Amino acid sequence: MKKVIAVNTRILVSDKLEGIGNFTAEIFKRLVKWNPDYEFHFIFNYPFHTDFIFGTNVKTHIIQPPARHPILVKIWYDFSLKRVLKKINPDIFVSPDAITSLTTDIKTLIVMHDIGFAHRPQDLPNSWAKFYNKYSKKFAEKSTRVATVSEYSKKDIEETYSINPEKIDVVFNGVKDVFHPAEPEEIKKLTNNKEYFFYIGSLHPRKNVVNLLKGFNQFKNINNTNNVELVIGGDFLFQSNEIKSVLKELKHKDQIILTGRLTDKEVNTWLSGAIALTYIPYFEGFGIPLLEAMKCKTPILTSNVTSLPEVCSDAAIYANPESIDDIANGMNILYGDDTIRRELIEKGQKRLKDFSWDKSAKLLWESIQKTIHS
């Protein structure tokens, strides 16, 4: 008799995949292909793109309500999802967005990418901060097993929620095959061969874009004769007024470019031509852009906190995300020292060998099997 795996795929939204969505898509496209004897049930709450149906062994369900508010999310998981799981009767329910039903007895594996909201609730809209801080510990306790994306996050979940570490599996993120050093002609066409630092990610409070802007402005004050720009790739999310306000006041605001949302191909080209990736969040469970930069052979300036030193090891320059001086100094080092840049690129190629979506999929499959057989 076929084993049945139900998967929460409500985060698979076409053209809007962020970190969790990419994790889900990249891993399950592999697991579906590698395990044709298993039946996968993908559970959506919106009409889905057929690109997300990774094989003939995938069955689909769309259940209501379309849940984007915490109250509707709770209804979706505890009532709508519970009914569908009862009908499917899977061997396991996998939830890559760390939320699960508290009313089902199905064996459950959640992927809790990080618990930044427990430490920095101010970075989320109030309703979501309250939701996560009220229920996330309950989700972890209710689940048969918990997966997370770094040793840092595993330790954080263990200590913050008093979860037995034997119940937590580490499944690192990977990096898409689309990322590679772009051809010089391609870089020139998009960037006009300008010199620039590059940030990619959502414009979200915990990503620390405000201090990145201030750090760049200070770097320009030190190096006021150069034409270096800061290119910011990503969408504004909530609480974006501070970013917009700071941007208006900066002396060097004319050398800060906001691109809006970029395709993977555009990110690849911008990354390939950059002096460095400048990715300096306050809190991160992993940080996929770090691996994307390594794939493009681009040096990295990142934060010296949370999971980021674990991911980069010796393949980055580190800065205190609270310190504008530190950020500016890191930029200055990377701008002025080609030897350091070459060393970081070489170290990044070595570090990359530890990460791939194939490895991630194998690790999650091990966690799935542990859950089924627990």
Token representation of residue 72: 């509707």
Q: Whole-prediction pTM value?
A: 0.94
From CA 292, how far away is CA 309, in angstroms rounded?
16
How high is the pLDDT of residue 239?
66
Segment 247-251 shows an average pLDDT of: 90
Tokens standing for residue 304: 């010296």
Instruction: Find out whether 258 and 232 touch, Cβ atoms under 8 Å.
Output: yes
Is the confidence at residue 137, as pLDDT, over 70?
yes
195 and 275 in contact (C-beta within 8 Å)?
yes
Element (H, E) at 31: helix 19-34
pLDDT digits (tens, 9 = 90+) for 203-242: 888 899 999 999 999 999 988 767 899 999 998 876 678 8
Question: What is the per-residue pLDDT for 275?
Answer: 97
Q: What is the pLDDT of residues 340-352, one digit of tens each?
A: 999 999 999 999 9
Structural domains of the chain, ranges and CATH numbers in brackets: 4-174+356-372 (3.40.50.2000), 184-352 (3.40.50.2000)
Q: Does residue 68 register a pLDDT over 90?
A: no
1: pLDDT strictly greater than 90 = no
Q: What is the mean pLDDT of residues 197-206?
A: 92
